Structure 1
Amino acid sequence: MSAPRDVPALLPAQSPGPVLVALSGGLDSSVLLHALAALPDYRARGLRALHIHHGLHAQADAWQAHCAALCASLGVACEVRRVEVARDSGLGLEGAARAARRAAFAEVLRAGEWLALAHHRDDQAETFLLRALRGSGPEGLAAMQAQRPFAAGQLWRPLLAVPREVLRAYAQRHALCWIEDPANTDLHHDRNFLRHQVLPLLRQRWPQAEAALAASAALSGQASALLGVREEAWLAEHAPDNTLALDALRREPPAQRARLLRRWVAQQAAPALPARGIAALENEVLHAGDGARFAWHGVEIRRWRAHLHLLPPPAPWPAAWSASWDGRAPLALPDGGELALHGAAGFAQPLTVRARRGGERLRLPGRTHSSALKHLLQEAAMPPWRRFALPLLWEGDTLQAAGDTLLSAPFAAWLQARGAQLAWRPPAA
């Protein structure tokens, strides 16, 4: 068996752009930074490193100092970002740390920069096994992608085809020092259990187990990409405005409906739709009436007028909330929405803004009598979640506007005479 090539030789000689290395100080990221620093084009394009200080371990400050010293020895700029790890997020400590880390990556990554992560072939094999044990489909079994868009730049895993043993040999050959995080040996974590208990046992029978599992991940990725081509085209036709047409969805077989729903949710950067969500949508939303909904992780899918809508759950206004507004500056609403007056300096007298309380009436332009606001909203086909957050503008006891489309005759005339416009930005707009 021939000796493996040195790690820099396994990397592209030409940098894809300015590269930011996520440096934990462990073996893998230390090797990645050292190898990239050995390639002149990466230095020329602006190679730098980022260390995330989680504050979860007694040695966290020492790890930061270690990373700073490594970068100084290589002549690479190093930025340190301290993060607060939420302990009550429901993700567990490891998941919360990962979420905080990703948020920091997104904040630090510059436009057009490539975030280099040091995941390798053994990591890919472990991820494939974890996803398989969770019952994942082709997307999940594809495990980690070598490259994909992320924040203002790209996320890049240049070592994804390189075995861990090659990285360790490189580190020893170049006398690198690295951090051994005790958490990496805690068998309570699923990945550590696979790494230290399951995979060594598999290698006794199948010496190329990691390579085979990583290859299966690659094949799953290819299958997922092929399926995705049709699904992207389908969604472009039937969900062009981020609402999904129910009639078209029902014509698809159940397994394809599930894939389309997951991809539609992913397109809108929402949390992944859980398996129970697919079942709930099939049983409680697709064949129900308007207003049926399924909520998870801070978002929800609602059925309305033969379409599915993906929304954040409505935020209730505080009881009896009201505000005096003169129109001179935008008014922040308690649910995160906003009211603004464009084309006029302000109102002659401040108006009162408050939420619906029931029983309101409004006389629209061209009508001789007032109508119940409830009926006007139904005529306008305003979705229920918009009605829930609708700001009402009052002049004394007279309703002048509901949102920015239902205007009283006098108020509409006042705006028209000045070439002005009322603008309401709902929280989910």
Structure 2
Amino acid sequence: MIKKIVTQYKKLFLIAYSGGVDSTVLLHKMLKIKEKDPQIKIRAIHINHNLHSSSKKWEKHCTEICQKYDIPLIIKKIRIVLKGNIEEKLRIKRYNTIYNNLLDDEILLTGHHLNDQCETLILSLKRGSGPTGLSGMSSESFLGKKKIVRPFLQKTKKELEKWAYKNNLKWIEDFSNTNISYDRNFVRHKLIPILEQRWPFFLKNCFRTTVICCEETKLKNMFLKEKIQNFINFNESLNIKNFRNMKKEMCKALIRYWISLKNIKMPSYRIIECIYKEIVCSKEDANPKIIINKNEVRRYKKSLYFIKTQKSIKDTFLFWHDTNKKLLLPNNLGYLTRNNKGFTIPIPKKNELINIRFQFEGKILILGREKRRKIKKIWQEYNIPPWFRNQIPLLFYNDFFISAIGLFVIKEENFNKEKKIKENWKISWISKVKLNNENFFAFY
């Protein structure tokens, strides 16, 4: 497998080197290949988790081995808050650190083996995962935009240890791996030995299961990739207009695939079920939401939106004392600036305080209209989703509501009956939030 990788890919490799037997075998196998092909460039990276009293000793061991074989070694120390799912936090931190040290043309090699794959499969079963989760680790996948290869996925731990002993290799033993309070260690030391004793080919069959699930997932995704094009709107929302006329299973598959395009950790089956039942199947006048980490799935006008959860700013006041300078808006909403290309608005009087707010209730009369309407109806007319209405900068002079920047202006007589204002100025709202020709907000 390693020889195939070397011939198939480029000549730059970064080895995830913990100092344990798996990564040690990987390192030495690559060195043997390098002896025959000197053009191969090998680097290693060691992540010190700072969780064990022997962490510095392990770091020193890896440094000495790499110096012995003239392998450039990157040492990175990471720390996490020791609460919640420590294993998951460490994995995320570790891979982010490795990714940031990968060169553009470099391929990451890890020592994951068949036992690791089986452990991953069992843990996925514990979580109630579907075929995607049961696919386990792929021998080749991507870490961000960079390639990660696991050449030992069809080799057992015993096979790697046998090769290590045969070649008189030295490695470290992480005794924290025997702590069965961690789920993976419990599976490794308590479950798998019993299963192997009963069924000697259990590990091999686990691998076959992951391969089958992976193939099924790929086929399903090929189908969904083509199918979903009929449901994705211009602003990346999901059109659910016809979902009630479709099979529930198809609707949930489309929702799951749509969320997979957002580059987040896939939510559980239960969350997908909740999105279908509580959002897709809810009443038309309902305003439900499902929270996924720091994001929300919301519905508006027969479409699902995937948005980042924003801090409430409806009670925020911003005074714009110097209009020659940009006014920075909260929640990454961009800024306001005075220029010749912006939204035309009546200019304030000298003694009026220009201020920006993000909330208004009541009826308003906007320019070009003859009747007052509730602002809620105006938002609906402009197709502004409920969750975004308190994110739009509202311009006030003193306590008079003047304009929703980029959308509408209040009719002059509504706030200045004594003297009509003839002078105007222009304000631009520079933001990633854009309006298209149909006055429908797009979220970028």
Taking structure 2 as the reference length, what is the TM-score of the superposition? 0.83
* Equivalent residue number for residue 244 of structure 2: 250
Residues 113 and 152 of structure 2 are in contact (CA less than 8 Å); yes or no, is this contact kept in structure 1? yes
Q: CA deviation at 1:327?
A: 5.5
1:352 aligns to 2:359 (yes or no): no
Amino acid at match of 1:425: K
In structure 2, list runs of 5 or more residues that go unmatched.
412-420, 434-441
Q: Which moved more, 1:131-140 or 1:402-411?
A: 402-411
Q: Which moved more, 1:251-260 or 1:376-385?
A: 251-260
Select the residue among 392, 403, 406 that pairs with 1:404: 406
Cα distance between partner residues in 2 of 1:368 and 1:8:
76
Q: 1:318 to 1:237 in 2, by over 3 A?
A: closer
* Equivalent residue number for residue 381 of structure 1: 383
* Equivalent residue number for residue 296 of structure 1: 292
Select the residue among 82, 89, 105 that pairs with 1:87: 82
Q: 1:285 to 1:411 in 2, by over 3 A?
A: farther
Cα distance between partner residues in 2 of 1:17 and 1:342:
54
Cα distance between partner residues in 2 of 1:214 and 1:175:
29
Q: CA deviation at 1:14?
A: 4.8
Select the residue among 55, 59, 63 that pairs with 1:64: 59
Q: CA deviation at 1:97?
A: 1.3
Cα distance between partner residues in 2 of 1:283 and 1:200:
42
Q: 1:67 to 1:344 in 2, by over 3 A?
A: farther
Residues 320 and 356 of structure 2 are in contact (CA less than 8 Å); yes or no, is this contact kept in structure 1? yes
Q: Which moved more, 1:323-332 or 1:125-134?
A: 323-332
Q: 1:395 to 1:227 in 2, by over 3 A?
A: same
* Equivalent residue number for residue 49 of structure 2: 54
Aligned residues: 416
Cα distance between partner residues in 2 of 1:130 and 1:303:
33
Select the residue among 81, 85, 93 that pairs with 1:100: 93
1:310 aligns to 2:319 (yes or no): no
Residues 287 and 298 of structure 2 are in contact (CA less than 8 Å); yes or no, is this contact kept in structure 1? yes
Q: 1:67 to 1:376 in 2, by over 3 A?
A: same
Q: 1:401 to 1:33 in 2, by over 3 A?
A: farther
Per-residue CA distance 1:343-367 (angstroms, 9 max, x = gap) = 5599998942222143484643x45
Q: CA deviation at 1:142?
A: 0.7
* Equivalent residue number for residue 438 of structure 2: none
Q: 1:396 to 1:321 in 2, by over 3 A?
A: closer
* Equivalent residue number for residue 4 of structure 1: none
Cα distance between partner residues in 2 of 1:363 and 1:297:
39
1:39 aligns to 2:33 (yes or no): yes
Residues 270 and 299 of structure 1 are in contact (CA less than 8 Å); yes or no, is this contact kept in structure 2? no
Cα distance between partner residues in 1 of 2:87 and 2:51:
10
Q: Which moved more, 1:72-81 or 1:41-50?
A: 41-50
Q: 1:256 to 1:345 in 2, by over 3 A?
A: closer
Q: 1:397 to 1:252 in 2, by over 3 A?
A: same
Cα distance between partner residues in 2 of 1:156 and 1:362:
63
Cα distance between partner residues in 2 of 1:27 and 1:203:
21
Query: CA-atom RMSD, angstroms?
Result: 3.1
Cα distance between partner residues in 2 of 1:411 and 1:20:
68
| Secondary structure of 1:145 counterpart | coil
In structure 1, list runs of 5 or more residues that go unmatched.
1-6
Residues 392 and 399 of structure 1 are in contact (CA less than 8 Å); yes or no, is this contact kept in structure 2? yes
Cα distance between partner residues in 2 of 1:323 and 1:287:
43
Cα distance between partner residues in 2 of 1:268 and 1:293:
17
Residues 325 and 331 of structure 1 are in contact (CA less than 8 Å); yes or no, is this contact kept in structure 2? no
Q: CA deviation at 1:251?
A: 3.6
| Secondary structure of 2:320 counterpart | strand
Cα distance between partner residues in 2 of 1:394 and 1:124:
61
Q: 1:280 to 1:412 in 2, by over 3 A?
A: farther
* Equivalent residue number for residue 140 of structure 1: 133
* Equivalent residue number for residue 118 of structure 1: 111
Cα distance between partner residues in 1 of 2:42 and 2:392:
50
